[in-house]
Amino acid sequence: MKKLIYLTLIAASVISCSQPTKTTQNMNPFFETYSTPYEVPPFDKILNAHYLPAFQEGMKQHAADIENIVLVTSAPDFANTIEALDRSGELLTKVSAVFFNVKEANTNDSINSIAEEVAPLLSQHRDAIVLNAALFAKVKAVYDHKESLQLNPEQARLLAETFKNFVRGGANLSAEKKEELKKVNEQLSLLELKFDKNLLAETNSYKLVIDKQEDLAGLPENVVAGAAEQAKADGMEGKWVFTLQKPSWIPFVTYSEKRELREQLYKAMYNRGNNANENDNKAIINQFINLRLQKANILGYESWSAYVLDNTMARKPENVYALLQKVFDPAIVRAKEEVADMQKMVDKEGGNFKIESWDWWYYAEKVRKAKYDLDEEQLRPYFELNNVRDGAFAVATKLFGLTFTKLEDMPLYHPECEVFEVNDADGSHIGVIYLDYFPRESKKGGAWMTNYREQKTSADGKNIRPVVSLTCNFSKPVAGKPALLSYDEVETFFHEFGHGLHGLLSQCTYVSIAGTNVSRDFVELPAQIMEHWAAEPEVLKMYAKHYQSGEVIPQELIDKMNKAGKFNQGFVTSEFIAAAFLDMDFHTITTPGETDLNEFEKKSMEKIGLINEIIPRYRPTYFAHAFSWGYSSGYYSYIWAEVLDADAFNAFKETGDIFNQDVAKSFRTNILERGNIDEPMKLYLNFRGKEPGIEPLLKNRGLL
């Protein structure tokens, strides 16, 4: 996932802050040019106390940048208005990138307090520019004369996107509506923080404590060892603790023979934020729904989805619904077949109960083993984390000629991080990538890519290379063994690495449209296409090596993986599409009011025909994509992008060489390097020569 974790700073502030003294400047790393290798953030020198003064000074400087643009007496042109806007606010961007990334990956009470203080200030700051009438008049003057300016394609795109962002931000509104919009934006900025804070607290607060050996029946050795280490860390040595982190709860519900314990842990997972306590997210979601609708209405749209999708490839809610239905229909048919297979196994074993949602993982694994003689635990020894990482690196080397060199003694925001320099085939510097692998209570769940510095070209023509970061929550090393990943975690690493390549390989002039700053339903293409390489036999033999013997994964296991590759796709697809429908249904509401979230979810799922044995992948109160991660009315984008990535990977397969250099060069130059310098479908057509159809997606999922 590409995570949007700090505000797009095209707006300036009216906040007045005192000029920092020279002593303060010298003590605050943000007020100096970083003297670190590759000018990465000096995490070892940054204290929490540095953030707020840097935010205040950053907003002040940004406001001054904007004021200088407004006060220019010569006629507005591309250089003195549009380009100047893109280059403004460097200090604010600098501190925002560090603060919000660290907040996501290694937070604490102090950082959370700073975020709550600074969020409304940043909202005010952004609105003060977007709603600045004098500034917009200059932007509009340039836009109205665009045909006579002889702009190159990238300049023309930046102009169009800048004008559109101002209009979508409310620049054309009346003074009264602008004030209303400001208040809504400020409230929304705080709600995101509250939602995330509650979700993290809920995730960390629950623990399933087991003190009887017999209650571990069915669990693999490494899962038991990990639970023992967690118990020891929690001061309960001699017991076993399972948490709501994916590397803990998923193996438990997949292998535990204790149905009542599977139910207990599973229900704790899907009831996060829905427990009528101080971390309950239901009221917050209602505020989200109503405030987003209010904002959409202020800006002239009938729903939040209509507003969001107007700036995407999908364009309209009905197009999203149509795509989701086309995928859901065959998926739910397959899911019902899967339920029947599992129910037969329950009946054969004398279970005397009907399959429930908390049974799916357990019985699906049993059916897979019976049908394909394949157990997830057979694969883990071949997916040692460092080998998987090196496999992803090797794919990038074979495709694009990139090399990766580990950097020692680098400043880190957490000691578990690794850092690599990325160089091009000619030895030139491409960028730096941080890798952060394991769960901790200070880190959000999930996996994402983000930037500590984005690629751009400076005013003096220097190509500023990016610093990107991949943050994950993978299975930890346990019992003296290295970190051994599930295949799902392998795919996740390749996925996030694809986002990383999109950020690293950017070759744009303007930061606003560089790298991953593309529409939400296009940004997943570079990530999801990388997942295809992870499963290719040729690639598996490059990285899937037994952690003890070094033996390359046997062909027999690869064959079993291929045969089982489309297994359980009815469930996987249906639970995903269900969540995407739920996201859309919440955000196509056109009448404000109080929504009973549980009843709304029930009716939404009944409408599409989701079976009782499956719940949406994300229920509302922990659906961070929809409410705090920038994917509202956008969760569908993974499936939209899968239409693209399935077709794009076929461009390689059709040549008979998954590392075909001509196709790889085209993908790099037309997609990865180009950022948002043209309409996404035009970029795709430049690469592929034709628009994609849905058939490759359905075929890949075994749903045709």
Among residues 595, 3, 604, 578, the alpha carbon closest in space to that of 285 is found at: 595
Query: pLDDT tens-digit profile of 503-529?
Result: 999 999 999 999 999 999 999 999 999
State residue 67's pLDDT score: 98
CATH number of domain containing 26: 1.20.1050.40
pLDDT reading at 448 higher than 70: yes
Sign for the pseudo-dihedral over CA of 398, 402, 408, 412? negative
Does 464 lie in the same domain as 390? yes
Q: What rounded mean pLDDT belongs to the chain? A: 95
457 is a domain residue? yes
pLDDT reading at 7 higher than 90: no
pLDDT reading at 435 higher than 60: yes
Does 237 lie in the same domain as 345? no
State residue 376's pLDDT score: 84
To the nearest whole percent, how much of the chain has pLDDT over 70?
97
Alpha carbons 62 and 69: distance in angstroms, whole number:
11
Phi-psi label, residue 524: left if phi above 0, alpha if psi -120 to 50, beta otherwise: alpha
Q: Which amino acid is at 88?
A: S
pTM above 0.85, yes or no: yes
Alpha carbons 700 and 704: distance in angstroms, whole number:
9
109 is a domain residue? yes
3-state class of 232 per DSSP?
helix
CA distances from 451 to 358, 490, 529 (A): 37, 22, 20
Cα 285 to the chain's mean position, in Å?
A: 20
89 is a domain residue? yes
Among residues 584, 147, 608, 556, the alpha carbon closest in space to that of 332 is found at: 608
State residue 375's pLDDT score: 87
To the nearest whole percent, how much of the chain has pLDDT over 90?
95
pLDDT reading at 156 higher than 60: yes
Query: pLDDT tens-digit profile of 303-343?
Result: 999 999 999 999 999 999 999 999 999 999 999 999 999 99
193 is a domain residue? no
State residue 6's pLDDT score: 42
Does 619 lie in the same domain as 554? no
Owning domain of residue 80: 22-130+132-168
Query: pLDDT tens-digit profile of 235-286?
Result: 999 999 999 999 999 999 999 999 999 999 999 999 999 999 999 999 999 9
CA distances from 616 to 521, 573, 574, 583, 623 (A): 20, 10, 8, 10, 10
Alpha carbons 380 and 415: distance in angstroms, whole number:
25
pLDDT reading at 684 higher than 60: yes
2 is a domain residue? no
Do 406 and 435 form a contact (C-beta atoms < 8 A)? no
Query: pLDDT tens-digit profile of 449-479?
Result: 999 999 999 999 999 999 999 999 999 999 8
Q: Mean pLDDT over residues 123-144, rounded?
A: 98
State residue 440's pLDDT score: 96
Does 344 lie in the same domain as 214? no
pLDDT band at 11 (very low <50, low <70, confident <90, very high): very low
Q: Mean pLDDT over residues 595-624, rounded?
A: 97
675 is a domain residue? yes
Q: How far apart are the first and last CA of the chain?
A: 27
Does 476 lie in the same domain as 344? no
Alpha carbons 474 and 353: distance in angstroms, whole number:
33
Does 478 lie in the same domain as 586? no
Do 206 and 243 form a contact (C-beta atoms < 8 A)? yes
Do 70 and 80 form a contact (C-beta atoms < 8 A)? no
Do 448 and 502 form a contact (C-beta atoms < 8 A)? no
State residue 446's pLDDT score: 95
pLDDT band at 4 (very low <50, low <70, confident <90, very high): low
pLDDT reading at 204 higher than 90: yes
Widest distance between CA atoms in the chain: 85
Query: pLDDT tens-digit profile of 43-73?
Result: 999 999 999 999 999 999 999 999 999 999 9
Does 486 lie in the same domain as 390? yes
Alpha carbons 488 and 152: distance in angstroms, whole number:
43
- What amino acid positions are annotated as catalytic residues? 496
pLDDT band at 696 (very low <50, low <70, confident <90, very high): very high
92 is a domain residue? yes
pLDDT band at 415 (very low <50, low <70, confident <90, very high): very high
Domain boundary among 215, 248, 270: 270
